[in-house]
Amino acid sequence: MKTDNDTKRKENFRPIVGIDLGTTNSAVAYIRHGKPKIISSPSGEELIPSVVLIDTSGEVIVGKDAVAALVAMPSRTIAAIKRKMGSSDFIDIAEQKLLPHEISSLILKELKSYLDNILGEGEIEAVITVPAYFTDEQRRATKKAGELAGFIVERIINEPTAAALAFGFEHLNEDNHILVYDLGGGTFDVSVVEMMGGILEVKASTGNNYLGGEDFDWKLVDLFAQNMIDKHKIDPRNDLRGRALLKEEAEKTKILLSTRESIKVSLPIVTVKGDQPIGLEMTVYREEFIKLIDEMLLETMQSVQTVLKDSNLSRDDIDEILLVGGSTHIPRVTELIEDFFQKEPRMDIDPEEAVVLGAAVQAGIKSGVLAKDGLIVTDVAPYSMGIAVLMGWHGFAARSGGFHAIIDKNTTVPVTRSEIFSTCSDDQNAVSIEIFQGENEWSKKNHALGKFLLAGIPPNQAGEEKIKVTFRYNINGILEVSAECVSTGENMTVTVQDALERDSEEDYLDSFNRVQDLLKKAAESTDDEDDEWEGFQMMMNEMLEEMEDEDEELSLEELVEEVTALRENAKGMMKTARGKKRRLLRQVDSMLSKATLKSNIEELQTVINKATDILIDLESEEI
């Protein structure tokens, strides 16, 4: 029999999920039957590409269906937006201007739609992961993106911490030191974590927000481009579509080189020179690829040494090494780790799923669903945080001078620290508290978080009036700073996350309205659609001209004409299609597009047959 309290608890229940908002892929997970589980998209995908397309009818498309448009419609598509998080610069996409966190909110809204299908409409709380080395602004931007998507975001967790949680959840009875090596699509983090009696304590973290698989892709793009420059005296990177095509091929090549020693790259057309199509033909060897990226990989190992030093541990103290992130599939990563630690890293959990599964575990801890497991997590401050002071004085500078840390990097959070400073001039009646985060001794070389003025200080000689500055930093990365005049008790407190340099209510509403207007935009055909389609047809025609074998050219010509007709048919059907039908049409279009890029007769024929069957079923409304 249910009690009133049971009923009330159910009515007040708010599901909490974990989200990995990644540079390359994103995912959402929750605790089901006591275990973290990834929630699949309606088409069965657990990881969706972090790619956003605003098509010519104004519809927002996220994920796999948007990936194909990176080449076909590069001006309407954007990827790797995570690298721009925290920036106030607008991004041009589909003749609109959006802030990075607004674009990220579209990815998160796609994830939320999967939850709504399962849980129904209602409040959903999200624990969202960020790189350990994300700045305060980047963390704020992530929180805003989640809120714009309709989530309640009360907790941000560092990605390596989440990955350690996923591992620790399966090894609650083990006591050991774990090094988490997280090399993803756009960022690199490394953390040392101690597991003891179900308590997971982060000892130290470091990393680079601009080092990851994206950088490896662009190294290959440069290699491809140089090959074309040498052979054809033209740089394909100056062509927006050509650049996108090389980037797509670079990512494929990178992935294949993890399991093969060499890859033959064959693109019949990349760009055009003097009305003549220019293609790419070359073989890329794994050894050649490693030479391109080895400096960056060696940089990650320098970070490994730094984090060991910061945690006061040696390599022999590390019991387990966890590899996290898709880029750890590169064999050279394992080789470097094994050479350094003299032991094999672990991949018990899929490197690309570890972060989202750990986020789900954190969500389960927060909601109380996993309370019986007794897992407790502590994290550390990723940067030192402090104020600007006069070098050599315990006073305040009118301008940014020296940097005095009040909370040191890798301090366990939550934490509260206070220090006493003094005025630096006679009859000084106010002090400016300038807040920074970073490790440089000069404040101007660190990252500014904001400033505020404490007034009402009584006139006195320099150094006589004391000012107490207190920093409170919580588990979510929210910093609260207060300053108090000791002699009068006059004080002022600000929360950096909510007050300093935060968007005004008007700015927040502007963001909200931009996203909502985008999502509600009526489907209208535009001339751009025809331009994009004609551009694709031109590419196909030019590709045929590059074929050397006359018999093969005729055979390919017939197949490509059939592909073009099928795509035009799908295009016409998309104008009126909605929901599942429209998604299937986009999948057909993407499938046909990818097949033509390979110029493989057998593959083209197989895809044509499959696409034809689907279109017939759609036209007869059997789907």
Of 9-18, 100-109, 548-557, least confident by mean pLDDT is 548-557
- Is residue 407 domain-resident? yes
- Whether residue 371 is found in the same domain as residue 398: no
Would you say residue 415 has pLDDT above 80?
yes
Distances (CA, A) of 288 to 47, 125, 263, 284, 536: 30, 46, 11, 7, 32
Residues 594 and 447 in one domain: no
On whether both 481 and 581 belong to a single domain, the answer is no
Picking from 359, 378, 397, the residue at the C-terminal end of a domain is 378
List 55, 65, 82, 379, catalytic entry: 82
- Tokens encoding 366: 């927060």
What's 469's domain CATH number? Answer: 2.60.34.10
Look at residue 497 in the predicted model and tell me its pLDDT.
Answer: 52
| Per-residue pLDDT tens digits for 300-340 | 999 999 999 999 999 999 999 999 999 999 999 999 999 99
Residue 59 C-alpha from the chain's centroid: 23
Question: How many CB atoms within 10 Å of residue 538?
Answer: 13
User: Average pLDDT in the 386-404 region?
Assistant: 67
Q: Please confirm, yes or no, whether 159 is among the known catalytic residues.
A: yes
Q: What is the pLDDT of residue 382?
A: 83
pLDDT of residue 558: 67
Summary mean pLDDT of the chain: 83
CB 445, CB 438: distance < 8 Å = yes
The pLDDT-based confidence of 384 (bands split at 50, 70, 90) is very high
Domain-ending residue, one of 446, 476, 501:
501
How many structural domains comprise the chain? 3
Query: Would you say residue 311 lies in a domain?
Result: no
**Which pLDDT score is estimated for 507?**
65
Check whether residue 370 and residue 434 sit in a common domain: no
Tell me the whole-structure pTM to 2 decimals. 0.75
If one compares 321 and 614, the residue with the highest pLDDT of the two is: 321
Q: Looking at the structure, tell me whether residues 129 and 25 fall in a common domain.
A: yes
Is the pLDDT at 412 greater than 60, yes or no?
yes
Least confident of 389-393, 583-587, 591-595: 389-393
- Report CA torsion sign: 412, 417, 423, 429: positive
Of 57, 23, 33, 52, the C-alpha closest to 184 is 23
Residue 283, number of CB atoms within 10 A of its CB? 10
Residue 77 has pLDDT above 70, yes or no: yes
The verdict on whether 189 is a catalytic residue reads no
Residue 8: its pLDDT value, please? 38
Q: Are residues 166 and 32 in the same domain?
A: yes
Q: Write down the catalytic residue from 182, 251, 353, 484.
A: 182
The secondary element (H helix, E strand) that includes residue 416 is strand 415-422
Between 3 and 213, residue with greater pLDDT: 213
Q: Are residues 561 and 465 in the same domain?
A: no
User: What's the rounded mean pLDDT across residues 73-89?
Assistant: 91
Residue 500 pLDDT class (50, 70, 90 cuts): very low
pLDDT tens digits for range 543-575:
445 444 434 443 566 677 777 777 777 777 777
- Predicted confidence at residue 620, as pLDDT, reads 59
581 as an active site residue: the answer is no
DSSP 3-state assignment of 52?
Answer: strand
Question: Considering the domain boundaries, does residue 145 fall inside one?
Answer: yes
Final residue in a domain of this structure, among 378, 395, 417: 378
Short-list 192, 199, 193, 191, CA closest to 173: 199
Query: Does 323 fall in a domain?
Result: no
Per-residue pLDDT of 180-196, as tens digits, reads 999 999 999 999 999 98
| Cβ neighbourhood burial of 196 (10 Å; 0-12, 13-18, 19+) | exposed
Looking at the chain, the whole-number percentage of residues with pLDDT higher than 90 is 47
Residue 68: the pLDDT is 80
Q: Is residue 19 part of a domain?
A: yes
- 464 and 589 belong to one structural domain: no
Query: Cα separation of 20 and 95, whole Å?
Result: 29
The backbone torsions φ and ψ at residue 180, rounded to the nearest 5 degrees and listed phi first, read -100, 115
Q: Is residue 93 in a domain?
A: yes
**Residues 396 and 371 grouped into a single domain:** no
Q: Which of 102, 136, 159, 434 is the catalytic position?
A: 159
Query: 20 in a domain, yes or no?
Result: yes
Using pLDDT thresholds of 50, 70 and 90, give the confidence band for residue 117. confident
In a domain, 303, yes or no: no
Q: Do residues 363 and 425 both lie within one domain?
A: no
Question: Which tokens belong to 442?
Answer: 């000069």
Specify the pLDDT at position 529. Answer: 45
**The pLDDT of residue 307:** 96
User: What does the pLDDT read at residue 452?
Assistant: 86
Is 20 catalytic? The answer is: yes
Residue 443 lies in domain: 385-501
